């Protein structure tokens, strides 16, 4: 590849890498919300469970216990997907600036022993530094994008299962109340 192509790709990869860092931060900023919602679920489920004992008639009991079991399952699935968000993943980052500087200085010293002019030596060092940095930036961005896509997918599943879990918990509570209000 030529210098212009490398510079163009470098700009694209740098922007992509920044977007992936922002996407990762976005997921982490949403975690307190999900933790609070799951904590709320843990707070209401025991009270619903205690309320189930007042249901006497078999039809109402089957309905209420079924809804409660489905709500528990849903919140359990939400907990699983929450774990998928927070579990440790391997992220890649471009080389540290001081490492890159040391590498460039080593290349500079290597090329000083040759018959190159200072301009040619600088071009050779730049070319030798640019290619590995470009590959590393592209690899890091692709790796981080896969991680962020998995976390974003898990985040949407947590939200789905939490909403359905609350709906089922409220339907269970409504079933318990209905049995008390409308005895058959």
Residue 30 or 171, more confident: 171
Pairwise CA distance, residues 161 & 158, whole Å: 5
If you average pLDDT over residues 53-63, what whole number do you get?
Answer: 91
Between helix 118-181 and helix 97-112 the angle, nearest 10°, is 160
Tens digits of residue pLDDT in 95-132: 888 888 888 888 888 888 778 888 888 888 888 888 88
Q: What pTM, to 2 d.p., does this model score? A: 0.76
CB atoms within 10 A of CB 68: 22
Tens digits of residue pLDDT in 26-47: 777 888 888 898 889 989 999 9
Which one of 22-36, 67-81, 126-140 scores highest in mean pLDDT? 67-81
pLDDT number for residue 150: 92
pLDDT surpasses 90 at 65: yes
Domain boundaries, the chain: 3-181
């Amino acid at each position: 590849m030529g210098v212009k192509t490398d510079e163009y790709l470098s700009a694209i990869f740098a922007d992509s890498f920044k977007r992936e860092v922002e996407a990762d931060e976005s997921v982490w900023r949403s975690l307190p919300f999900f933790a609070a919602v799951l904590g709320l679920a843990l707070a209401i489920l025991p009270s619903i469970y205690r309320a189930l004992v007042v249901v006497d008639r078999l039809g109402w009991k089957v309905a209420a216990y079924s809804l409660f079991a489905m709500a528990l399952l849903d919140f359990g699935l939400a907990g699983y997907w929450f774990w998928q968000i927070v579990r440790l993943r391997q992220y890649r980052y471009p080389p540290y600036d001081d490492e890159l500087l040391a590498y460039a200085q080593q290349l500079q010293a290597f090329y000083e022993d040759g018959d190159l002019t200072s301009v040619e030596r600088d071009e050779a060092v730049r070319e030798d530094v640019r290619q590995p940095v470009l590959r590393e930036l592209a690899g890091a961005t692709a790796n981080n994008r896969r991680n962020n896509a998995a976390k974003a997918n898990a985040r949407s599943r947590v939200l789905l299962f939490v909403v359905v879990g609350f709906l089922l918990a409220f339907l269970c509570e409504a079933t318990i109340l209905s049995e008390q209000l409308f005895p058959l």
